[in-house]
Structure 1
Amino acid sequence: MNSSKKKTLRTSDIMTCALARILRDGENVFHGVSSHMPMVAVMLAKTLHAPNLNHLNIPGGVNPKTIKDAHYSSAGLELLNGAEAAFPLSEVFDLSMRGKLDVAFLSGVQFDVNGNVNASVIGDYNKPKVRLPGGAGSAVLIPTAKKALIWRTKHDKRTFVEKVDFVTTRGNLYKIVTPLCVFEFKNGRLVLDTIHPTSSLEEVMENTGFEVVCDDIRYTPEPTVEELNMLKVIDPSDLRSKEF
């Protein structure tokens, strides 16, 4: 890719579109609090290619009509606007444990080569350097959802490590979308799925704390004109970029 075109591509757009494309029509998809990028990705998928996707969220509004006013949280009452039904959070956990939750959007602070997720502590558990928020719903949803879809807006050797400092949860890890690439969990380990057009294999390797392996060198498709235009409609406040 030429450098001028590379500069025009925004990481937040690449990540949002990559997340949206993973979602399939008819799936039950849940995102939690502080999940602006997944929230926008769900709306993008539902608008462009997955009209029968069921958008589930913490306030409980199933398939809200708009997210335009969700300025402060991805778990606000805006997600009840025009909703088709009410489905409270407690029912989401039950749905997942019954094997009916297709995708759960979750995150963490550390991820290791074996797909373990740390959202608890950095350092020794009894004398940690940093005490993190903890697993919350991820300890239930990652093991029980059909696909745990992770997004993380930081990609460095402190985030992607050989072994996490503490295993908060593990389970049906599917893919991790980062500012540099997409990892896939395959045969018991994270492998490189695609490299973003704004990055390179060398950059991914330099910023990953475990050996990067892949079957083929493939690149994440660039956002299409249709996707970019729709993002302006459904996310005029650019909520998808809040974490950067």
Structure 2
Amino acid sequence: MESKNRVCDTMVCAMARMIRDGDNVFHGVSSHMPMVAVLLAKAMHAPKAVHLNIPGGVDPVLRKLQKYTSAGPELLEGSKSYFPLMEVFDLSMRGGLDVAFLSGVQFDVWGNVNASVIGDYKKPKVRLPGGAGSAVLIPTAKRAIIWRTKHDQRTFVNQVDFITTRGNVDKIVTPLCIFKMENGEMVLDTIHETSSLEEVRENTGFPIKYSRIAYTPLPTKEELSALGRIDPGNYRNIEF
């Protein structure tokens, strides 16, 4: 459990550091980790970042995080204003959404995202929820940051079974590492201290490219202290 918590906190802190002061930042449903990352960034280095979400609460003051939702009515309580989801889509298509935290089920070396089916589209092994807002937000947000709590060869494949959305992925944060897009390909950015290059290679279905070996900075004492105040119930860890 301690190791899992450490990985989770490393991922959350890494996502928080990707948020810049003044960014308009959106996260969707089932998104405890990026939700906490947004709150952490606002508490640490990006107080002017704007927190947008599914219910439409802008910069909500969360007195208590909910265990089972990152899209509940509490995100409207104490918010500065109301900005509904349809306006988020419009904002993104107008170039005003700086960061969108989204996910998927399969990813390939070209940055394509599959959230639709596993196997043949007409006769799939598994039919997935589909792209929903990600099909709009990933191509149009200034930076689409993907997180996924699984990193194996079924998740990171040479070619996705179905392209739900393509292009514009900035970073992908996993329990093992962070990928970045460079010249149209996914390359290794940093490796978490809890992992290794060998483990990343063994669990990725395409050849790993990198220009240098770098490690993801560990959470600082200040970040861990802030996480304890923001999420004392450790609900960010329920995604694992």
User: Do the two structures share a fold, i.e. TM-score over 0.5?
Assistant: yes
Which amino acid is 2:192 matched to?
H
**Per-residue CA distance 1:141-198 (angstroms, 9 max, x = gap):** 0010001000000000000000000000012100000000000011001000000000
What letter is aligned with 1:36?
Answer: H
Whether 2:53 is the aligned partner of 1:75: answer no
Kindly indicate whether the alpha-carbon contact (under 8 Å) linking 1:116 and 1:169 is maintained by their aligned counterparts in 2: yes
Deviations 1:4-61 (A, max 9, x none): xx95961110000000001000000000100000000000000000000000000100
> Which one of the candidate residues 73, 92, 95 is aligned to 2:88?
92
CA distance in 2, matches of 1:9, 1:83: 29
- List structure 1 runs of 4+ shifted beyond 4 angstroms: 6-9
Q: TM-score, structure 2 length as denominator?
A: 0.97
Distance 1:174 1:226 in 2: 27
Distance 2:194 2:65 in 1: 30
Equivalence map 1:91-240=2 (5 Å): 91-240=87-236
Q: Which runs of 5+ in 2 are unaligned?
A: none
Partner Cα separation in structure 2 for residue 9 and residue 241 of structure 1: 7
2:18 corresponding residue in structure 1: 22
Is residue 5–residue 237 contact of structure 2 (8 Å, CA) maintained in 1?
A: no
Which residue identity is paired with 1:23?
Answer: I
Instruction: Tell me if structure 1 keeps the 8 A contact 2:57–2:75.
Output: yes
The answer (yes or no) to whether the contact 1:148–1:174 under 8 Å persists in 2 is: yes
* Shift in Å, 1:199: 0.3
Q: Do the aligned residues in 1 keep the contact of 2:65 with 2:231 (CA within 8 Å)? A: no
Question: Is the 8 Å Cα contact of residues 36 and 74 (structure 1) preserved in structure 2?
Answer: yes
**CA deviation string 1:72-108 (max 9, x = no partner):** 2100011112111100000000000000000001000
Aligned AA (2:153): K
Instruction: Say which of 57, 60, 68 aligns to 2:56.
Output: 60
Amino acid at match of 1:25: D
Write the distance in 2 (CA, Å) between the matches of 1:145 and 1:73. Answer: 24
| Structure 1, unpaired ranges of 5+ | 1-5
Distance 1:67 1:124 in 2: 45
Indicate if the aligned counterparts of 2:16 and 2:40 stay in contact, CA closer than 8 A: yes
In structure 2, relative to structure 1, the CA distance for the partners of 1:241 and 1:159 (3 Å cut) is same
Alignment correspondent of 1:42:
38
Provide closer, same or farther for how the CA distance between residues 98 and 68 of structure 1 changes in structure 2, counting only shifts above 3 A. same
TM-score (normalised: structure 1): 0.96
Change over 3 Å in CA distance of 1:181–1:170 after alignment to 2:
same
Q: Which letter does structure 1 place at the counterpart of 2:135? A: A
**Displacement, 1:130?**
0.3
